[in-house]
Amino acid sequence: MAVPATGGGSAPDSVEALKRVKATETEWEARLTATRRETDAALEALRTESANAVKEAHAEMDKERTRRVAEARAETASQAEAILADGRAAAAKALEGEGRRPADKKNEILDAVLEEFGKE
């Protein structure tokens, strides 16, 4: 768009107005560029921070899992030992004749009953 020449003072005023517009545009472009750089830097810092937090959480989770597995193994070993001890005790009683079913002690019962008849 051409600026009409209207006389002496008009054209220099238009040039000055254009210079001010251009200066304002340049200033705002510089501000936008600086803001973009700051935003990108802040975003990158947040990404790095969140990645480190995830790594730390995974490491902590692995430690906790290892601790719980060790506890579970210890508890299981303790329970298994208790079960084995109960089984050994029951086996010892069975060898002594205690804890057996009457059908298993049939011969002993018959001998005791017949012995009573033999006394008469």
Q: What is the pLDDT of residues 21-63, one digit of tens each?
A: 999 999 999 999 999 999 999 999 999 999 999 999 999 999 9
**Mean pLDDT of all residues in 84-111:** 74
Lowest-confidence segment of 7-21, 39-53, 58-72 by average pLDDT: 7-21
Q: How confident is the model at residue 62, as a pLDDT?
A: 96
Read off the pTM. 0.47
Q: How confident is the model at residue 12, as a pLDDT?
A: 77
Which residues, in sequence order, are CB contacts of 105 under 8 Å at separation 6+?
97
* In the chain, where the domains are located: 20-118
Q: Please determine, for residue 99, whether its predicted confidence score (pLDDT) is greater than 80.
A: no
Of 50 and 95, the structure prediction assigns the larger pLDDT to 50
Q: How far, in Å, CA of 42 to CA of 35, rounded?
A: 10
Q: Please determine, for residue 110, whether its predicted confidence score (pLDDT) is greater than 70.
A: yes
Q: Please determine, for residue 1, whether its predicted confidence score (pLDDT) is greater than 50.
A: no
Quick one: what percent of the chain has pLDDT higher than 70? 82
For 5, phi then psi, to 5°, come to: -80, 115
Average pLDDT in the chain = 84
- Burial category of 73 from C-beta neighbours within 10 Å (exposed 0-12, middle 13-18, buried 19 and up): exposed
Q: How far, in Å, CA of 10 to CA of 51, rounded?
A: 61
